[in-house]
Amino acid sequence: MTTVSPPRERALAPTRAQPSLLLPDRASYRRWDAVRMLQLFVVVLMLIPADYVIKAVGAGGYAAALVSYVLLFFYLSSTLFGYHDPLALRYPVRMTVGFMWVVSLASYLMMDHGMLSGIQLASAERWLMQLAGVTGVVFVSAEFLRSVEDMIRVLRVLIWGAAICGIVAILQFKAGIDLTRYIRVPGFALNAAAATNTGIGSRGGLNRVPGTATDPIELGVVAGMLMPIAIYLVMHDHQRPKWQRYLACVCVALNVPASVSRSGVIAIAVACGVLLLSLPPVSRLKGFALIPPALAVVFVFAHGLIGTLTSYFLAGSSDPSVTHRTNNYPYVAQLVKEYPWFGQGGGTYIPASAVNILDNEYLTTAIELGIIGVIALAFFLLWPPIAALVARTRTTDRRLRDLGAALAGAGFAAGICSATFDSFSFPMFVNVQALCAGLTGTLWLLVNQNDDTLIAGSGGYS
């Protein structure tokens, strides 16, 4: 009697006749859909500013968020109708999302609704909506991408989106031309809360620009996070001409000086540092040898930038932006004492004035989600890059090892830079970090699968 294997077993089983395909067909369709949907997600994330929203939805109705909600629906419906079995997959990133949900829901249920304004209550709901979108991005990218090639297809679109963002930023920085003013999406309108965004600003006599992000700090940090991934594609994306890979990498890199942001410098130093230290000795030396030419390009591209940023780094406690942060520590401590364990509610901290803008996501989370929330946030941000490094040590495949280092660099940059700005208030950062965390889950599953078919990947679309 012929036995029929369950859908998941058939999807994972390699065949000699077609070693590059994943069977059955409906499993391949789900995988194809996931790649395409994630590609759409990163396109709208990088190219459509989050300031434009569907008014009926509110601040959580920007284009990338809507796609992330669809991703969550895609994931849940596939699970409920038996097309996908999440319990058959085990990877460390999922527990970070679960922990964040437990803390957020506990804080939401325990918050004092009578003491909060209508704006704060709406912000609390947006926090849960944002977490739902993050969940969709993490779970779909972790559980529905089945090969290195799948990951590269998504990362390729992500990096080119960041490269186009870099071109927009370069025009803003050098010529004062803001192309984002001409972006019009049917059905979307400028969010009233974003109407105060200054667009092209100034620091040290230089234009300080946001590109397609909502703020220059967000632009610099996200670009810094993505640099090791752009370098990874230069090394391993052999399906594309070398000039295309290098061009995209350079355009992504130019986002950092265009942002005139210390956080961006920290992000690119941490992210690329992790990647360089993980490379073989010869490649590592080549990487360090490229640093002086890169600084020379920055010097030519933005004369005075290096001196400006150096002066800000060396200013120490005399820097107003540093004293602004440290002066808020007693204020934060007082608010945390009122609701120490689970905070006053996710998303509910709304500064009364510019003086109370904390510029530190860990401090903001301490107020909103309490001490337990800070632990959950640190776990959410830092556990994925640790998992990426652990996965890297479990394989000898050069592509997987380098990808693990690139994702770890992006993750550590996100975790460290969250102490320099209120990162979860910036949609591009939130979603890029979620995608990197989800891809870390894919990497973990590939390394632990011991299935040559999954590592080899499959062709058919790009």
Of residues 321 and 119, the one with the higher pLDDT is 119
| Domain-embedded: residue 15 | no
Would you say residue 401 lies in a domain? yes
- Flag the least confident range among 38-42, 140-144, 324-328: 324-328
The predicted structure's pLDDT at residue 2:
43
In tens, the pLDDT along 196-229 reads: 555 777 666 677 788 899 999 999 999 999 999 9
Report the SS3 class of residue 457: coil
Domain that holds residue 129: 22-451
Q: What is the pLDDT of residue 180?
A: 84
Tell me what percent of the residues of the chain surpass a pLDDT of 90. 56
Is 8 inside a domain boundary? no
Q: Which residues of 101-119 are buried (b: 16+ CB within 10 A; e: fewer)?
A: bebbebbbeebeeeebeee
| DSSP structural state of residue 208 | E
Q: Is residue 7 part of a domain?
A: no
Task: Identify whether 291 is part of a domain.
Answer: yes
Q: What is the pLDDT of residues 24-83, one digit of tens each?
A: 334 444 565 889 999 999 999 999 988 888 888 888 889 999 999 999 999 999 999 888
Take residue 173 and report the two structure tokens written for it.
């920085």
Q: Classify residue 3: in a domain, yes or no.
A: no
- Model confidence over 74-117: pLDDT tens digits? 999 999 988 888 888 899 999 999 999 999 999 999 988 888 88
DSSP category for residue 323: H
Q: For the whole model, what pTM was predicted?
A: 0.88
Residue of 457, 451, 433 lying closest to 31 (CA atoms): 457
> What is the tally of structural domains in the chain?
1
The answer to whether residue 17 scores a pLDDT higher than 50 is no
Q: What is the per-residue pLDDT for 414?
A: 97
DSSP state of 60: G
pLDDT tens readout for residues 404-450:
999 999 999 999 999 999 999 999 999 999 999 999 999 999 998 75
Q: What angle do CA 377, 420, 311 make, to 5 degrees?
A: 165
Give pLDDT, residue 455.
44
